[in-house]
Amino acid sequence: MSGTFVNPLARGTAGVINSARAIKQWTREVLMLQDDTIVSVNELACHLPGCPPKETVVLVMQGPGPTMQASIHKPMKDIVIEDIASAFSRGPGVDELAGAIEP
């Protein structure tokens, strides 16, 4: 076997980092967030029956206000901006945090 094996799912790989950055930026755009709002993105594996194998969880934390969470049943690399808009449009508290989401 030649070459070095690179695990595409390992923390710190360019693909994971770039996907997380894109999801954070899309979340800021979709929710019209202030620069000081914290957006956290994590990809989780699920081993329970009926659970999708990968899930991406996006947390939005703004000051003393409520923390919003959206779960998208896809790996980070497969998420597009429409997934972000859809996930946050169905969650409670979006209007209070960031204003109305445009379809």
Q: Each residue of 7-45: pLDDT tens digit? A: 655 655 567 889 999 999 999 999 999 988 999 999 998
- Tell me: the pLDDT tens digits for 72-100? 999 999 999 999 999 998 755 443 443 43
The model carries a pTM of 0.72
- Write the class of the CATH domain 14-95: alpha beta
| 6 vs 49, more confident | 49
- Determine the 3-state secondary structure of 9 from DSSP: coil
Q: Is 52 exposed, middle or buried (0-12, 13-18, 19+ CB in 10 A)?
A: middle
Is pLDDT above 90 for 63? no
Q: Is 3 exposed, middle or buried (0-12, 13-18, 19+ CB in 10 A)?
A: exposed
Give the pLDDT score at 95: 37
